[in-house]
């Protein structure tokens, strides 16, 4: 069976797209990745935001988006996939989604890995609302977002949690540059800054983007390691930390994050805020440590910094659990729901 995955951007921005590609290929299917917009276009947008906003408001911007849509449509018509999986792609025109679904055997679905509440800009939110009814199914990582997507017009919505990719997220040896007491991997946010501030003097390393927004006198500036610890370096950053501190962002409510699985898959010991969904996957004090307040978080950090054997035991048990929570398993679950053969079955093509 052929599966086409459409992503918003091309490499090096690929992440979830590649994880699903590997998971589906492990089931025996052929997969092709297609980018709606080239990564160079994305970087250009970031460098020249004012110019891009002006272009978006004129005919040239519409022609640019139309060209991207047509390129993806041509790929679908030529390759004739059995199933098309779209990752986000708010800019994809509803008519293109409809046409893509018509050339497949099992339709066109969307995996939306974020909350629609944080879609940047009213224009994209309007486009997303227009596009949702055209998908056979919308898969969301959060149970709480199922009714939200229904209200936004989706015909069918299904919960599909994140997972881990055993190829990238796996234990590695500790590297000296990454050795620390506590590691935090994630983008800056005012709440993240607030939660991490008490840990600044306890051997904290921060990996991720946006932390240049910190105030000039913030002690967290000394903790930030720009350009390190993310992507392919994530396993090394996790291996070097005694504790990996995780926060499911407030806008995601009682859900989970990709790092819910990535940290234990890399062999890390995780302390994270308690959410209903994380508690579905990991048992408190056996596979992770949950906290409900700032004081509980600091108490847990101080306790487990002193108790290495307990840290190692919890990390080992969580790592074993991750063997069942891979993107191959998620793809198989999605295929069963859609009535797609889980394993590749040869069939004559028209």
In this structure, is residue 169 part of a structural domain? no
Q: Give the end-to-end CA distance of the chain in Å, rounded to a whole number.
A: 13
Q: Which pLDDT does position 60 carry in this prediction?
A: 47
Element at 309 (helix H, strand E): helix 308-321
**What CATH number did the domain enclosing 81 receive?**
3.40.50.2000
Q: What is the 3-state secondary structure (H, E, C) of 111-126?
A: EECCCHHHCCCHHHHH
How far from 120 is each of 115, 125, 126, 251, CA to CA, in Å?
11, 8, 11, 14
Q: Which pLDDT does position 162 carry in this prediction?
A: 98
Q: Which pLDDT does position 101 carry in this prediction?
A: 97
Q: Which pLDDT does position 349 carry in this prediction?
A: 44
Q: Which pLDDT does position 48 carry in this prediction?
A: 54
> Are 31 and 127 found together in one domain?
yes
In this structure, is residue 343 part of a structural domain? no
> Are 140 and 93 found together in one domain?
yes
Is the Cβ–Cβ distance between 158 and 138 less than 8 Å? yes
What does 119-161 look like in DSSP terms, one character per residue? -SSHHHHHHHHHHGGGSS-EEES-GGGHHHHHHTT-S-EEE--
> Are 261 and 220 found together in one domain?
yes
Q: Which domain holds residue 137?
A: 2-163+327-338
pLDDT averaged over consecutive 10-residue blocks of the chain (350 residues)?
Answer: 93 85 97 81 49 53 70 96 96 95 98 84 81 98 97 98 97 91 97 97 97 96 96 96 96 94 98 98 98 97 98 99 97 97 55
Q: What SS3 class is residue 244?
A: strand
Q: Which pLDDT does position 41 carry in this prediction?
A: 46
In this structure, is residue 253 part of a structural domain? yes
CA 119 from centroid of its chain's CA atoms: 14
> Are 300 and 332 found together in one domain?
no
- Put the strands of the sheet holding 270-273 in their side by side order: 204-207, 180-185, 241-246, 270-273, 289-291
> Are 142 and 187 found together in one domain?
no
> Are 134 and 41 found together in one domain?
yes
Q: Which pLDDT does position 348 carry in this prediction?
A: 39
In this structure, is residue 171 part of a structural domain? no
> Are 15 and 149 found together in one domain?
yes
Domain count, the chain: 2
Q: Which pLDDT does position 332 carry in this prediction?
A: 97
Q: Which pLDDT does position 341 carry in this prediction?
A: 84
């Amino acid at each position: 069976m052929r599966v086409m995955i459409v992503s918003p951007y091309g490499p090096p921005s690929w992440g979830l797209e590649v994880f699903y590609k590997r998971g589906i290929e492990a089931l025996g299917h052929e997969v092709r990745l297609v980018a709606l917009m080239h990564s160079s276009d994305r970087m250009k947008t970031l460098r020249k935001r004012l110019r891009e906003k002006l272009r978006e408001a004129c005919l040239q911007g519409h022609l640019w988006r139309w060209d991207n849509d047509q390129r993806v449509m041509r790929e679908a018509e030529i390759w004739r996939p059995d199933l098309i999986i779209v990752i986000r792609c708010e800019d994809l025109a509803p008519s293109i989604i409809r046409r893509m679904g018509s050339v497949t055997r099992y339709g066109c679905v969307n995996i939306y890995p974020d909350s629609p509440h944080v879609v940047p800009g009213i224009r994209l939110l309007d486009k997303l609302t227009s596009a949702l009814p055209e998908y056979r199914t919308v898969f969301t990582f959060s149970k709480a977002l199922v009714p939200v997507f229904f209200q936004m017009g989706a015909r069918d919505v299904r919960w599909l949690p994140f997972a881990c990719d055993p190829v990238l997220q796996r234990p590695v040896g500790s590297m000296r540059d990454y050795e620390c007491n506590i590691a935090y991997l994630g983008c800056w946010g005012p709440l993240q800054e607030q939660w991490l501030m008490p840990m600044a003097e306890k051997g904290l390393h921060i990996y991720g983007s946006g932390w240049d927004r910190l105030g000039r006198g913030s002690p967290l500036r000394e903790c930030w390691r720009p350009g390190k610890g993310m992507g392919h370096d994530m396993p090394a950053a996790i291996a070097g930390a005694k504790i990996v501190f995780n926060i499911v962002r407030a806008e995601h409510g009682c859900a989970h994050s990709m790092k819910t699985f990535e940290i234990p898959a890399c062999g890390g010991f995780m302390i994270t805020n308690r959410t209903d969904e994380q508690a579905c996957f990991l048992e408190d004090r056996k596979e992770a440590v949950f906290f409900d307040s700032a004081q509980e978080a600091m108490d847990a950090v101080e306790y487990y910094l002193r108790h290495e054997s307990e840290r190692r035991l919890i990390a080992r048990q969580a790592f074993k659990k991750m063997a069942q929570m891979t993107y191959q398993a998620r793809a198989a679950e999605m295929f069963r729901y859609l009535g797609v053969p889980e394993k590749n079955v040869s069939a004559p093509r028209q």
